[in-house]
Amino acid sequence: MLDTQVTVIGGGPGGSAAAKKCAEQGLKTLLLEKKKLPREKICAAMLFMDVTVRQVKQEFGEIPSNAFADPPYLYGDGILHGLGPDIKMKICGGRKTPSILRSRFDYWLNEKARDKGVEIRDEARVTSITEERDSYIVEVEKEGKRQKLKSGFIIGADGATSMVRSYLYPDLKPRFTQCYQEWYEGDIERLYNLDRKVSHAFLPLEAGLPMEPTAMFQKGDHFVLDTDTKMGKAKELMAAGKRVIKNCGIDLHEPARKGAALIPSLYKELFSGTFVPARGNILLVGDAGGLLVPITGEGIGTAMMSGFSAAAAIVRAVESGGEAEKYYLENIDDMLSKFKQIYSLAPKFRENSTKGLEAWMSVMDEVWDLTDILF
């Protein structure tokens, strides 16, 4: 007898979306999160795509005010500093973008899932998965004790370094980029006379460094410096960005905290079929499945989209008696097709990054415009 029909591993937006939809369809659903909830997450924490805002409202309701940052929206174009006169640069198609606090937003999604009947266990680390003839045994460690749970389906929503993905593909070696952040106390408008309702960017043009800006944006009573780049370059790029900031007459104090997160890059494997984010009745969503928008790295919306797709696939599998893998791959085929179209701009992005500011900004506009059209 099964302990639970569906085990969702990971308590982020993709995990909550999948768990909620499964429970709504009458499936006994357990969500396991290795950290204590609510938990922090290194992330720009902005809902970059309109489809994300729509699906949150449709499936979960209005975002509560305490889950928004202050300011709750960043408006229109960002501002690029340090290269002479300030330059407007398109971010998210130039529209206003909800800015959230991930710990509160994610926890709100958790509680919405719980309201639908999902059992949630935090500080519960999955240590192993083994397959039986018609089910899976998930071993969980919590408070020093281990428990084995029998589950019919598993949804891996456990992020960039997914344990579930490693179980399915022990020899897969994903490539990663890195997001590095520093959080500072204070308000950029009061301290530096910078508009707190837009994102600011500082682009170092130094030999040996990728053309990637250091972003600065307000989050409540802190402001954040954020840079995303290839592994091993994040702190170097941040230091270069801070030199540009200093040259703009901005003297930073010591950060209140720092943090980093990995961003998986599995597009080549996804498109070639050497990596498939499902096997049997185990499905991978969001970062675990490499399902992020290429180039921009937007992941909240695609995590939720893939989470809903995984739940729908499991419902069909239960009804048909077949495996969920087939239905899930059908469900995300359109998303992967859109990813391919955006990823086709990657060579142009790399080439234009060597041609100077105007060429780089041009291809970034093209990426955002295409993302808006497709999603």
Domain layout of the chain by residue ranges: 4-45+101-174+266-343, 75-97+175-263
pTM for this structure? 0.95
The DSSP code sequence of 310-340 is HHHHHHHHHHHSS-HHHHHHHHHHHHHHHHH
Torsion angles phi and psi, residue 280, rounded to 5: 65, -120
Homologous superfamily assigned to 4-45+101-174+266-343: FAD/NAD(P)-binding domain (3.50.50.60)
Spatial strand order of the sheet with 214-219 comes to 87-89, 78-81, 200-202, 214-219, 222-230, 175-185, 257-265
For position 93, what pLDDT does the model report?
A: 55
Q: What is the dihedral of CA 149, 153, 157, 158, to 10 degrees?
A: 30
What would you measure as the largest C-alpha separation in the chain, in angstroms?
68
Question: What DSSP character marks residue 205?
Answer: -
Amino acid at 234: A
- For 25, the enclosing helix (H) or strand (E) is none
- Residue 241 in contact with residue 228, Cβ under 8 Å? no
In order along its 375 residues, the chain shows pLDDT tens digits of 678 999 999 999 999 999 999 999 999 999 999 999 999 999 999 998 889 999 999 999 999 999 999 999 998 667 778 777 777 776 655 678 999 999 999 999 999 999 999 999 999 999 999 999 889 999 999 999 999 999 999 999 999 999 999 999 999 999 999 999 999 999 999 999 999 999 998 988 877 777 888 999 999 999 999 999 888 889 999 999 999 999 999 999 999 999 999 999 999 999 999 999 999 999 999 999 999 999 989 999 999 999 999 999 999 999 999 999 999 999 999 999 999 999 999 999 888 888 878 888 888 889 988 998 898
Pairing of strands 119-121, 29-32: parallel
Q: From CA 281, how far away is CA 303, in angstroms rounded?
A: 18
For position 88, what pLDDT does the model report?
A: 75
Peptide bond into 38 cis (omega under 30): yes
Q: From CA 211, how far away is CA 234, in angstroms rounded?
A: 12
For position 238, what pLDDT does the model report?
A: 94
Q: Tell me whether the CATH fold assigned to 4-45+101-174+266-343 matches the one assigned to 75-97+175-263.
A: no
For position 356, what pLDDT does the model report?
A: 79
Nearest to 225 by CA among 208, 244, 209: 244
- Residue 192 in contact with residue 79, Cβ under 8 Å? no
Homologous superfamily assigned to 75-97+175-263: D-Amino Acid Oxidase, subunit A, domain 2 (3.30.9.10)
